[in-house]
Structures are given as C-alpha cells and as structure tokens.
Structure 1
C-alpha cells in the first residue's frame, strides 16, 4: 500500500486501523461511501438533488485521505487530478477537487488491500497492450 504516492507508514497504519477487514465492503464504491467521500443524492420521481459529501463513517479516515492529497507532490496522480479539476471548474472548486482526489486515493487503497496489487499507478504501454492481445 505504501507504493501509492502520498501514503507513508503513518497513513497506512491509520487506513488499516480504520478500515479493518476490507472484505466487509462489496467494492471500492462502498468503501468510499462508508468513508463519507461520496456526494449526497436525493431523488424523487424525476427530480434529482445532488449535494455535498455525506460525511458518514470515520471522520479520521476521511480527514487522512484529504490530508494525503493536500500534502502530495506535484508529480503524483492524485495531485494532477486535483489540479485538472481546479483548472476546469475554477479556484472555488478546490475543496471539491481535494475530495474527488481523496476518493480516487481510497479506491486505490481498497484495491491494494483486496488484491495485494495497486491498480492504475502507471499508464499501460500501447505497444505492450497490442502485443499481449496478439499473444492471446
């Protein structure tokens, strides 16, 4: 899990202590929902109201994820996502961008705990993808 940029030994310990057994969650979406990093959605018939994050679950886990994004280096995938959202939506969306990047970080942590391998850290090489498809 510490191979993910922005996660050190202390943050990894907080994640493991707060999440516990990751098998309790059906997938990364459920873990992010439990951590309170998903937007609130209220719907009735044809009306849909989207609001701020739900803030359910562990505030320590949510605060640690957002803090990891805030302190990450400029060359990390989470920071690039945050900067891209701020560029598109303006500086008033800085908190929205931090929360979106924190959710992406928690998704990668969920995959690391489930599979033992971190997904999406590097972009796939198109040359290798074509060769692997031809080998199959």
Structure 2
C-alpha cells in the first residue's frame, strides 16, 4: 500500500501546462454531462415504472437485488402477470435458468443451460453472485455451497438464479413479500398436466421400470 501512495505522490509532482488544464476541463465537462444524462434517464425510468410501484417494491426486497433498477429490469422482462406462466418452472425455463435434461433410457446426455432469456439471465446471475457472498441469507448461501461442492460454481450460481426467479414468481403471483421459504413451496400440478394410471404406467415402462401389480 505504501508503494502505491508513493506512486500517486510522484504522479502529482509536477506542473500542469495551460493546454493540459484546458483538456482536463473539457474532459470534466464531458463527464458532468454524462452524469446529468444518466440522472435524467434514471428519473425517467422511475417515473415510467410508477404504475408498477407495488410490484417493484416487492421484487426489490428479493435477496441479491440491490437497487430498484434491477427490479425494474426484471419486471420489464417477465411482466407482473404471472398467469401467463402455468408454474414457476415454466418461467425459469423461459428465462434460461433451467438445465436441458435430455434423458433417454435413464441416460443423461446433456445438462447444458438453455439459451432463452438473453437479457434477464445475466441479470439473475449477477444477483445470484451478489447474494451468495453475503451471510444475511443462509438459506440461499447454504444451498449454493452444497451444489458448488458437487457440481461447481457455475452450475451452483444458475441454481441460485433459478431459486431467486422462483421466489419472484410467487411474490408477483400472490402479492406477498419475500419469504425465505417461498421458493421451497411445492406447486399444485395444473389439471392440464394430470395423467391417467395407464399413461403413468406407459411412462414408467419407457424409462425402464417394471410395473408390478399389488
């Protein structure tokens, strides 16, 4: 650290010519202009999101989402009406945080992550990376460490991103604030996904199971 301080002092030791001062003033004015444009743009975004202030506040409370603009970005991607997704799994699949499970005869061929959700997925990954570094949410960090030990950091982060999006799904669907247990809740299977006993037997046989009658 002392070496860096000495370097800074050495860099400041000298004379600034009038030309250099003018260049620095131009650069400073340009920087101030960019900051003003950024502030104006942020104000515009906040005003446009005001009709969704309730949903924005709910999503903002989710671990890993550190500013309202992240919440706005998520809402702008998935909307606030979760009825368009039958379950949280459908939303996660659309967002690209669900592994592709190409399995046949009990053999798994690929666990690659799908390429959907090119905008929301990087944001969710960023939020996931932020939350696993904190000890404020042990229910998330514990799961991350457990998956990381078996599957590595990248897949563990995708799993955490999926957990966060699942929590957001339930929050927006039910209008409830974040609950550490929210993403663990089991979802009822929609009627459209119910199958008959005969269909279940057929699926079991396709996966190599022998069906034994009692």
If the TM-score is normalised by the length of the shorter chain, which range does it land in?
0.7 to 0.9
Normalising by the residue count of structure 2, what TM-score does the alignment of the two structures yield?
Answer: 0.50
RMSD: 2.1
Picking from 52, 55, 60, the partner of 2:112 is 52
The CA deviation at 1:68 is: 0.2
Q: Which has the larger radius of gyration?
A: 2
Q: Which runs of 4+ in 1 moved over 3 A?
A: 43-48
C-alpha distance in structure 1 between counterparts of 2:181 and 2:98, whole Å:
25
The CA deviation at 1:118 is: 4.2
* Counterpart in the other structure of 2:37: none
1:98 aligns with 2:98: no
**Given that residues 95 and 121 in structure 2 are in contact (C-alpha distance below 8 angstroms), is that contact kept between their aligned partners in structure 1?**
yes
* Counterpart in the other structure of 1:131: none
Structure with greater strand percent: 1
> 5+ unaligned residues in a row in structure 1: which ranges?
124-136
**Residues 9-48 of structure 1: pairs in structure 2 closer than 5 A:** 9-20=68-79, 21-45=81-105, 47-48=107-108
User: How far does the alpha carbon of each residue in 1:5-51 deviate from its partner, in whole angstroms, 9 at most, with x for none?
Assistant: 21231111011000023221101000000001111122345544232
| Higher RCO (C-alpha 8 Å, min separation 6) | 1
**Given that residues 62 and 178 in structure 2 are in contact (C-alpha distance below 8 angstroms), is that contact kept between their aligned partners in structure 1?**
no
> 5+ unaligned residues in a row in structure 2: which ranges?
1-58, 183-214
Normalising by the residue count of structure 1, what TM-score does the alignment of the two structures yield?
Answer: 0.76
The CA deviation at 1:74 is: 2.8
